[in-house]
Copies of this chain bind each other. A is one copy, B any other.
Amino acid sequence: MTETRTAAPGDAADDPSAPPATPASRTERAAAVTLSDVARAAGVSLATASRAVNGSARKVRPDLHDRVLAAAASLGYSANGPAQAMARGRTSVVGLVVHDIADPYFSTMAAGVVRAAEERGLVVTIGTTGRDPVKEAQHVAALRGQRASAVVVVGSRTGEAPVQARLAEEVAAFEAAGGRAVLVSQESIPVDTVVLQNERGAGDLARALVGLGHRRFAVLAGPPGLLTARDRLAGFRAGASAAGAQVQDELVVHGDFTRDGGHAAMLSLLDAGFARGCVFAVNDVMAVGAMAALRERGVDLPGAVAVAGFDDISTLRDVTPALTTVRLPLQGIGEQAVHLLLQERAASPRTVHVDGEVVLRASTPDLTTGRPSS
């Protein structure tokens, strides 16, 4: 990045510890107008002002109500959030924890969460883990300290017992403190969860592909530890078997859940002699990496090697050949999570199941007719 700055060439030293580095605060600040100021200006009591301005179950006489609102407006009053939170014992913050907000899978879900939350006057904070499951628990703990009223943790569990236990513990503590928690992924710990039917979606996809005449399958399976990747692989296998085809073990290659992971996995598959068949990448991003690898190697795509993904990332809908995939309503999933949060916690954890929908496109030709599907 080329850059020029008008001043201060030295960046503040980074000491990622102790007291949060509050951004440089201005020296002289205007004393904020408080509710007392408004009350005085309107000639009413603090309590009345509070009831009028910040909503309450109790009613205020219309003329007073208007008088207070007018005073508030003319003074430029804006309620002190922390003070309200303190008095109420809880903020109106929803904490969202994702692996990487730059990843379209997460950012699309985030958009859903934000949309649903903003509609209800809730503020969304975002924490990222960089795929480190331990950080999930840390974020939940921090959110408990912030008195967030709810938390949404998105992202595949690893199934690792200690990590899982730690998250379960923090989530329990969060709920014990009066907050609401929702997980998005798989049913792994006892808390309200939006369960993505990865296994079923992958199974449907496999069956559809067999229906198109594909018989020889390879899978770019993602990280071995990730439950989401594992479920998609398992579902695909099961679906293929059910339809009379098989996924040979040698044709299952693991790799990162990223574009580069898919690229590398595809290359290793090609190096191992795979030259014809249908490749299922457990997510779209990997599928695109695989396509790039095929192109680099001059493999006929989709003639010799067909490719399918999972997620139906919208930014990727214009790749060529168009990618066959399993559509997940990502934004809707984020919204679902918020709906779940808004409901009272039930005696036993609630679950919302979300299905994927197979979308056949040109990357997996219909072998029975010889024409691209769709």
A331 to B146, CA, bound (A): 27
Contact A350 to B125, CB < 8 A, known contacts A30-B176, A114-B101 = no
Which of chain B's residues has its CB closest to A301's CB? B320
A175 to chain B: which residues have CB within 8 Å? 26
A20 to chain B: which residues have CB within 8 Å? 92, 120-122
A2 to B329, CA, bound (A): 9
Q: Check if A104 is an interface residue, CB within 8 A of chain B.
A: yes
Q: Check if A363 is an interface residue, CB within 8 A of chain B.
A: no
Q: Check if A289 is an interface residue, CB within 8 A of chain B.
A: yes
Specify how many copies of this chain sit in the oligomer. Answer: 2
A70 to B178, CA, bound (A): 25
Q: Check if A123 is an interface residue, CB within 8 A of chain B.
A: yes
Q: Check if A63 is an interface residue, CB within 8 A of chain B.
A: no
Q: Check if A21 is an interface residue, CB within 8 A of chain B.
A: yes
A352 to chain B: which residues have CB within 8 Å? 3-5
Of A40-48, A243-251, A340-348, the segment with at least 4 beta carbons within 8 Å of chain B is A340-348
Q: Check if A144 is an interface residue, CB within 8 A of chain B.
A: yes
The answer to whether B101 and A128 have CB atoms under 8 Å apart is: no
Q: Check if A315 is an interface residue, CB within 8 A of chain B.
A: yes
The answer to whether B345 and A24 have CB atoms under 8 Å apart is: yes
Q: Say how far A54's CB is from chain B's closest CB, in angstroms.
A: 7
CB within 8 Å of B: which A298-322 residues: 313-320
Which of chain B's residues has its CB closest to A119's CB? B16
A107 to chain B: which residues have CB within 8 Å? 101-102, 104, 107, 110
Contact A146 to B21, CB < 8 A, known contacts A124-B126, A350-B7 = no
The answer to whether B149 and A23 have CB atoms under 8 Å apart is: yes
The answer to whether B285 and A315 have CB atoms under 8 Å apart is: yes
A79 to chain B: which residues have CB within 8 Å? 145
Contact A93 to B125, CB < 8 A, known contacts A100-B111, A354-B3 = yes
Q: Say how far A334's CB is from chain B's closest CB, in angstroms.
A: 10
A21 to B122, CA, bound (A): 7
Q: What are 24 A-B pairs with beta-carbon distances under 8 A? A: A3-B336, A4-B352, A6-B351, A16-B119, A21-B120, A22-B92, A23-B180, A24-B342, A24-B344, A25-B180, A26-B175, A29-B176, A30-B177, A78-B144, A81-B145, A82-B146, A102-B111, A104-B107, A104-B315, A107-B107, A114-B126, A123-B127, A288-B315, A289-B318
Which are the 9 A-B pairs with shortest beta-carbon distances?
A20-B121, A29-B178, A19-B55, A82-B85, A107-B107, A102-B111, A81-B146, A78-B145, A24-B344
A→B interface (CB under 8 Å): 1-8, 11-12, 14, 16, 18-26, 29-30, 32, 54-56, 76, 78-83, 85-86, 88, 90-94, 100-102, 104, 107-108, 110-111, 114-115, 118-128, 141-142, 144-147, 149-150, 173, 175-180, 259, 285, 288-289, 291-292, 295, 313-320, 329, 331-333, 336, 339, 341-346, 350-355, 357
Known A3-B355, A126-B126; further 14 A-B contacts with Cβ < 8 A: A2-B355, A3-B336, A7-B350, A16-B121, A21-B121, A21-B342, A30-B176, A30-B178, A81-B91, A81-B146, A81-B147, A102-B104, A123-B142, A259-B318
